[in-house]
Amino acid sequence: MKGGIISIIIGMGIVTYIPRWLPLFFLSRRRLPPWLVLWLDFIPAAILSALILPAILTAGTPRQFEWNRLDLWVAIPTLIFALRTRSLAGTVIIGMGLYWLISRLYP
């Protein structure tokens, strides 16, 4: 078991590192075609949205659609705050504070 866990960790490390390393190592020395630059410009917005929406609209394993969750209700004022102030630190503090306060008030 002991040797087993170490080899599993090393295997996990290798397959995790390769996708992180390949594009950085090869693309960053190359002149990229304009369409690829445009495409890559959409990637951050797409990834962030694909991370956030399932996290606030679904729960459980397997995932179920659950719209009435604290994560969603706190996201609305947090998003409005972010749009108004464009302050990362402020948004994180507001989000955490609201989440904590509401989970205290309605346990």
Partner 1 sequence: MVSDFLVSREEWGKAIREGLSAAWPICVGYIAIGLAFGVIARKTGLSPLDIGLMSLIVYAGSSQFIAVGMLGAGAGFWPIVLATFSVNLRHLLMSSSLSLYLRNLSGSRLSLFAYAVTDESFALNMSRFQGGNWGWRPALVVNHATNLTWLLSTVAGGIGGQFIPSGAFGIDYALTAMFLCLLVFQVRGLYHVLVALFSGILAVILSLWMPGNGYVLIASFLAASVGLLLRKTTGRKIEQGENA
Query: Which residues in the 46-105 window bind partner 1 by CB under 8 A?
Result: 46-58, 61-65, 71, 74-75, 78-79, 82-83, 86-89, 91-92, 94-101, 103
Stretch 6-25 residues interacting with partner 1 (CB under 8 A): 6-13, 15-17, 19-25
Residue 39 in contact with partner 1, rule: CB under 8 A: yes
What element of type H or E holds 97? helix 88-105
What pairing do the DSSP bridges indicate for beta strands 64-65 and 58-59? Answer: antiparallel
Question: Which amino acid type is present at position 30?
Answer: R
- Could you check whether the bond before residue 62 is cis, i.e. omega within 30 degrees of 0? yes
Residue 106 in contact with partner 1, rule: CB under 8 A: no
Phi, psi for residue 58 in degrees, rounded to 5: -130, 160
Smallest gap from residue 47 Cβ to partner 1 (A)? 5
Smallest gap from residue 10 Cβ to partner 1 (A)? 6
